[in-house]
Amino acid sequence: MKKKFILPVVLSSAMLVGSIPVSSVFAQPADSSSGQASKAWNEKASVPLFVKERYAEKFSSSTASEALNYLKMNQDKTGIPHPDKNLKVKSTQKDELGMTHVRFNQSVNGVKVEGAEVVIHFNKNNEIVSVNGRTNQTIAEDSVDTNASLSSDEALSAALAAVNAPEELTYEPTSELVVLPFEGKNYTAYKVNVNFMGDEPGNWFVFVDAKTGEVIDQYNGLMHADEQTQKGAGKGVHGEHRELHITQVKEPNAGTKFALADYSHENLGGIVTYDAKNDNSFSNDTVYVGNSAAFISDYDRAAVDAHYNSEKVYEYYLNEHGRNSLDGEGMAIVSRVHYGNNYNNASWNGRWMTYGDGDGKFMISLSAGLDVAAHEMTHGVITHSANLVYRNQSGALNESFADVFGALIDDSDWEMGEDIMAPEAKASGATVLRSLSNPNGVVVSNEQRRAYSTNGGVYPDHMDEFYNMPTSVDGGGVHVNSSITNHAAYLIAQDLGREKLGKIYYRALTVYLTSNSDFSDARQAVVQSAIDLYGEGSEEEAAANAGFDAVGIY
């Protein structure tokens, strides 16, 4: 199928810049100078719910209406009063096991309660077998006026000012009216998403009081002519020969050229790689183009690996899990290389991946790592499934699932980042960024983070070593504490192998986890997924339980 391809094409982008310590690599959120960032969510506003039915009730169909009927009959079991009034259907999905999953948002007067989701799970016989999620138990006691005094445009202005956003944004901001549980109170607020780049880039979520216009909370969720696709070739960062899918294009007055744009996959919007040109300005970014079908210059190498690795990750999710791209619906997969100067990081910004070239001392081009590409692209899968909030334990799970799939896709070892370390770093002993097999073998380099450790400043492998950080430091430990659940996954894989681990973890991520899930929720999700796939009392269920037991997550 032919597509229109206009050259040059400029898309908006946002990435990280600056010198980032080793432990923050892969989409480190910027530290906030605002005291708001360290405030906690209401304890009763995010109460875990997990109901497993031993004597399942059979319904006529696996629909949202039948799910609501169940909830109305079992209010005492779920703790959700008047579910037909207080829940809104978010999605209904049927999986390869024949199970149906109905996902609800808790709401007040039709306004979504932030972080409160409930999922009802039917088996293929229309029996409800489990219910999970998180609910806000303060809503019934606290009457919430969901009328907004502020317009969405006024909320946007307040959000832009709060995060010092530049005039040039990478894409149109979004705004949604929500009920926000925060600091013992339920606010009616606009949830504004603002994305930009520059010296301090961000994918900010800002909550603006819909009554007063004050900013209640905020966090940076940066995770970091007719044509015909044909075969090309290139040389990667480490000199590997890469076969590539590329596109032949014709530029006015320039003849035929070749772009790193792959439209060979059915029902996919394309795999396209851009050149960010090391100038910190997305407005100059263009699709990566060469004069021939062979991309072999030194400057080409980062783009070659980004393009090649993107296709490998796409194929893994499609072939192993039946997922068509990051959103499951064929969205285009976009990468940007040569970002910033001496930039030791890679990121997912909510829409695409960005790779720095490294400083040559600590890191080389980050696109060289298949595990790095898999990590960043998995952040995209997470965005379009569980959408784990990027701070504290939910943020650590976001990082952990990205690491786990990074290690599953780049299956040569259980380490992260071994292919992007520079010779000088390796000589000093810094051979990897994180290790799933031996987290304690890697030092957390940032002294500020080390100050929060109980184990001498290495990555933790057990809850006894959990780093209790404020959200102003590493988003509450999203990169550091992820090593605990990483190690659980590694231990499970030692019993079951990589393929079964991938199936169990993918199901847990896409079926059971919700935006505010914590480590305990993750254990329940993983164990339940093992039961769904392999049966109750199976060795897979036992291995899942044992893996989390071993790291102190009960």
| pLDDT digits 0-9 by tens, 354-398 | 999 999 999 999 999 999 999 999 999 999 999 999 999 999 999
Closest CA to 146 of 191, 103, 110, 122: 110
- Confidence band, pLDDT 50/70/90 cuts, at residue 54: low
Report the CATH number of the 22-29+226-368 domain: 3.10.170.10
Q: What is the pLDDT of residues 65-115, one digit of tens each?
A: 999 999 998 888 888 888 988 999 999 999 989 999 999 999 999 999 999
pLDDT of residue 132: 94
- Confidence band, pLDDT 50/70/90 cuts, at residue 56: low
Q: Exposure of 27 by Cβ count < 10 A (0-12 exposed, 13-18 middle, 19+ buried)? A: buried
Q: What is the pLDDT of residues 436-457, one digit of tens each?
A: 999 999 999 888 888 999 999 9
Q: Residue 64 pLDDT more than 80?
A: yes
Q: Residue 477 pLDDT more than 70?
A: yes
- Confidence band, pLDDT 50/70/90 cuts, at residue 42: low
Give the domain ranges of the chain.
22-29+226-368, 47-135, 144-220, 392-550
pLDDT of residue 57: 64
Strand partners, 251: 255
The contacts of residue 528 (CB under 8 Å, 6+ apart) are: 52, 130, 132, 508, 512
DSSP string, 359-384: -SSSB--GGG-HHHHHHHHHHHHHHT
Higher pLDDT, 328 or 279: 328
pLDDT of residue 226: 36
CATH topology assigned to domain 392-550: Neutral Protease; domain 2 (1.10.390)
Q: Is 204 left (phi over 0), alpha (psi -120 to 50) or beta?
A: beta
Q: What is the pLDDT of residues 190-237, one digit of tens each?
A: 999 998 876 677 889 999 999 999 999 999 987 743 345 688 899 999
The strand ranges marked E within 41-127 are: 47-52, 87-94, 100-108, 111-122
Mean pLDDT of 533-553: 98
- Give me the catalytic one of 479, 487, 540, 541: 479
Mean pLDDT of 414-426: 95
- Give me the catalytic one of 66, 114, 311, 376: 376
pLDDT of residue 32: 34
Higher pLDDT, 71 or 171: 71
| 376 catalytically annotated | yes
Buried b vs exposed e over 473-503: b needs ≥16 C-beta within 10 Å?
bbbbbbbbbbbbbbbbbbbbbeebeeebbbb
Report the CATH number of the 144-220 domain: 3.10.450.40
Q: Residue 179 pLDDT more than 80?
A: yes
> Which CATH architecture describes the domain 47-135?
2-Layer Sandwich (3.30)
- What's the mean per-residue pLDDT of the chain? 88
Neighbour count for residue 286 (Cβ, 10 Å): 15
Q: Residue 273 pLDDT more than 60?
A: yes
Domains 144-220 and 392-550 share a fold: no
Q: Residue 25 pLDDT more than 70?
A: no
Determine the Cα angle at 400 with ends 395 and 405, to 5°. 135
Q: What is the pLDDT of residues 338-356, one digit of tens each?
A: 998 999 999 998 899 999 9
Mean pLDDT of 252-259: 79
| 447 catalytically annotated | no
Q: What is the pLDDT of residues 290-299, one digit of tens each?
A: 998 999 999 9
- Confidence band, pLDDT 50/70/90 cuts, at residue 254: low
Q: What percent of the chain has pLDDT over 70?
A: 89
